[in-house]
Chains A and B, each alone.
Chain A
């Protein structure tokens, strides 16, 4: 076993880990040794092929095919130098005040989160794309919402030099998305932070951890030799994502004194809905996600977002098969798509567990309230599609594969609630949150409002696992803001801890 010693080790390099690395990088100038251990490899620019199956293997845990314990939802979790920021669309939203108020974390204010989010908006070049760059798929969503009087807003995006390749979720081949792989990590490395890729942390102990370096069959090899490592560190910051941060702490034995560890997981259950227009529209060319509609956010617990996916993802999200399914697929250039994002409640029994080998198992039950939201969202999206001029719509809970425009007045009957059945329709987690939630009470939280694990002064969490409830909008900017807070706390505690 190889041995290494650092002062601070950060586990994970996504929105959380990348941010912490950059924020702690100035400490390197004072002789403090900081390392980032990242499970996945660094993908070279020429490895972004745009091929769905290939990129899923390169960018996601289990190729994006991990399922919840009951088999009813798929979970996509990024890995690699940059983590999930490699495969998101770059939507950069500041969490609304009422959401932070609902979290009710003593010591955490919306003003604090918002000001930190603003800092990363500037750092990561967040802006609105000009209208001439928006494609029909997005503009039709906006048009449909406006026709119906629904509130629709444009997403701020963290792009620089976007060429509209349209495959953000498969990794940008033009390196336009300003994720941590392009902004925070290079800056951290420049200041002296060591980033070790292909390095999976298996166990956290008291001021030390065990990891294994094994190169992936793609990407750049790790700078460390392959093998097992024991790494000493006075401060450990866990940023492996909601599921893997929780699982790592559980498999390391922290669950015994932290009953909330792994619990209160929220997933933003999502559906992809598809409609066919009578004419060809621009859809797969251009940024896929320009607008969102929050008309039903408070009343029915869901958001609608414009989106565009690729042939396999599209095919698997349609309920049905055979000739009708093939017909719709062959109309790809006429397809408009909408993503539904349900706001699920944080419940203690929705949680991360570990199996006998210490691997994560996500025990999550779709509540009736969430299924109601998904049902209402299908009807709302169908109305938007028709208001935008669609000829026919495929609703996963539809009585028939297609609902024709002539049937638009009959949506209530044609999309019955009893067809919203888990296991029948494709439901995916859009964003994984919680499991190491912030709070004061040891029984219902894992860290304090600064990400420090209760009763473990040198152990921190700084990723989406901190969220005590759902973020209720795309969360990456919130994760960066919270990670920034954690880094501030570490800097202020450094004298005492190091």
Chain B
């Protein structure tokens, strides 16, 4: 990725597996596609937004220390989900929005791939009703 360093990519993937569990089963080329889509989207955004996202990923990763004494990536699945859910429902708007934005990026990378269509049963045809 051009817009995130390796540590940030790792944090992104840690969150991604919780948000879309299917990510764990993707082969390396599909993961590359996932990251390319996100990278391109990040490239269209201002540098300040990319920095904020990278920082937010750090916060997401470290925040669970406060409750579980471990980072997000070392939590049991149920606790990891609980940790992210706290951000989704957070009382502070900035935290909710940050999580929403990150989740949107993850969904874009995962569900924006044409290769995911068979997995979800989406099979559009330009010929539509004729087909």
Q: How far is the CB of A82 from chain B (nearest CB, A)?
A: 19
Closest chain B CB from A113 CB (angstroms): 33
Q: Which residues of A contact B21 (CB under 8 A)?
A: 322-323, 326
Main secondary structure, interface of B, reads: helix
B38 to chain A, nearest CB (A): 10
A312 touches B112 (CB 8 A): yes
A322 touches B104 (CB 8 A): no
Q: Is the CB of A311 within 8 A of B111?
A: yes
Name B19's contact: one of A51, A314, A319, A322 (CB within 8 Å). A322
Question: Closest approach, in angstroms, between the C-beta of A53 and any C-beta of chain B?
Answer: 4
Q: Is the pair A326, B22 in contact by a Cβ cutoff of 8 Å?
A: yes
Chain A residue at smallest Cβ distance from B131: A285
Given A62-B44, A312-B112, A329-B120, residue A164 in contact with residue B129 (CB < 8 A): yes
* Cβ-closest chain B residue relative to A318: B107
Binary per-residue interface labels of chain B (107-131) against chain A in the complex, 1 for a CB within 8 Å, 0 otherwise: 1101110101101111111111111
A163 touches B108 (CB 8 A): no
* Contact B37–A165 (Cβ < 8 Å): no
Please give the distance in Å from B32's CB to the nearest CB on chain A. Answer: 15
Of A117-125, A150-158, A419-427, A445-453, the one contacting chain B is A419-427
Interface band, chain B: 35 or more
Chain A: number of interface residues, binned into ranges: 35 or more
Q: Is B18 an interface residue (CB 8 A)?
A: yes
Q: Is A254 an interface residue (CB 8 A)?
A: no
Inter-chain contacts of A71 with B (CB < 8 A): 93-94, 97, 101
Q: Which residues of chain A are within 8 angstroms of B20 by Cβ–Cβ distance?
A: 321, 325-326
* A475 vs B88: C-alpha distance when bound (angstroms): 34
Q: Which residues from chain B contact A421 at a C-beta distance below 8 Å?
A: 96
| A285 to B121 Cα, complex, angstroms | 12
Stretch at the interface among A166-174, A290-298, A344-352: A166-174
Q: In the complex the two chains form, what is the Cα distance from A52 to B111 in whole Å? A: 9
A191-237: which have CB < 8 Å to B? none
> What sequence of 0s and 1s flags, for each residue 434-477 of chain A, a beta carbon within 8 Å of any chain B beta carbon?
00000000000000000000000000000000000000000000
16 A–B contacts from the bound complex (CB under 8 Å) = A63-B41, A163-B127, A163-B130, A164-B128, A165-B125, A166-B124, A284-B122, A285-B124, A286-B128, A311-B117, A316-B107, A316-B108, A320-B88, A321-B103, A322-B18, A330-B119
Top 8 A-B residue pairs of the complex, sorted by shortest distance between their CB atoms? A164-B128, A164-B129, A423-B96, A311-B111, A53-B112, A315-B107, A312-B111, A321-B19
A residues near B (Cβ < 8 Å) are: 50-53, 57, 62-63, 65, 70-72, 133, 162-167, 173-174, 284-286, 310-312, 314-316, 319-323, 325-326, 329-333, 421-424, 426
